[in-house]
């Protein structure tokens, strides 16, 4: 991504963290940053916030952004608890940092099926999806597979629209004799089916409220 263009580098200049204050005549002047803290005797001690104000805001922002484009080491360990496997998957929508193995990333997203995934291939981050990583959304039975799930229909893919985009989601319907209809199972997850009979498209309540 062109972060320099995104930040408008040409317009930012060498901002040093100082305050911008307005004069009475409407002009703006840049004040020196008050970076030092004084003790009770008036002697300067340490910088107020620990930041070297000689480093520009632009450089700090670019460094932080570029660090998100590559793991800190070539083969990072999975951030999963008690997991020593190499982590290659990163979630775009999770705030937590770190890379995960396939098993751990699936476990973390059992109830977050619309998060967007990226895979580190050794050179760059490539787009992937939870469906490609074989995340299956189970209905009924406490989010565990229905004992009758392996009937003649098996796992089915449907398209769901969320605020994060259009997603293919693998569905493990409850197929017990007393199970609700597929539309009712979708409604129970706050997903609005496009049709009542054999729905293959649905919309999350979030995206419906966004455009309400």
**Each residue's pLDDT tens digit, 147-166:** 888 766 778 999 999 999 99
Q: How far is the C-alpha of 59 from the C-alpha of 61, rounded, in Å?
A: 5
pLDDT at 171: 93
* Two structure tokens written together for 75: 């083969």
* Extended beta strands in 76-200, E state: 89-91, 117-120, 125-128, 136-138, 156-162, 165-172, 191-193
pTM flag (> 0.85): no
Q: Is the dihedral of CA 190, 193, 198, 200 positive or negative?
A: negative
| All residues at 6 or more sequence positions from 83 whose CB lies less than 8 Å from its CB, including other chains | 77, 100, 101, 103, 104
**HSE, side-chain direction, 13 A CA sphere, residue 57:** 14
Rounded-to-5 percentages of helix, strand, coil across the chain: 20, 25, 55
For the chain, domain boundaries: 3-67, 71-131, 136-210
Residue ranges in the chain modelled with pLDDT below 70 = 1-55, 151-152
């Amino acid at each position: 991504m062109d972060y320099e263009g995104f930040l408008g580098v040409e317009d930012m200049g060498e901002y040093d963290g100082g305050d911008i204050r307005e004069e009475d005549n409407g002009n703006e002047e840049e004040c020196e940053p008050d970076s030092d803290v004084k003790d009770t005797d008036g002697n300067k001690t340490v910088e107020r916030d620990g930041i070297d104000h000689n480093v520009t805001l632009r450089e700090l922002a670019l460094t932080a952004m570029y660090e998100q484009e590559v793991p800190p080491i070539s083969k990072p360990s999975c951030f999963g608890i008690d997991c020593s496997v190499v982590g290659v998957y990163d979630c775009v929508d999770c705030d937590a940092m770190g890379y995960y193995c396939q098993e751990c990333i699936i476990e973390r997203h059992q109830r977050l099926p619309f998060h967007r995934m990226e895979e580190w291939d050794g050179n760059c981050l490539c787009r992937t999806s939870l469906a490609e990583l074989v995340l299956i959304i189970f209905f009924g039975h406490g989010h565990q597979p229905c004992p009758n799930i392996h009937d003649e229909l098996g796992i089915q893919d449907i398209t769901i629209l969320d605020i994060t985009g259009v997603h293919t989601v693998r569905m493990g319907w409850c197929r017990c004799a007393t199970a609700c209809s597929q539309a009712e199972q979708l409604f129970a997850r706050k997903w609005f089916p496009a049709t009542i009979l054999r729905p293959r498209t649905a919309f999350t309540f979030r995206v419906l409220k966004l455009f309400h």
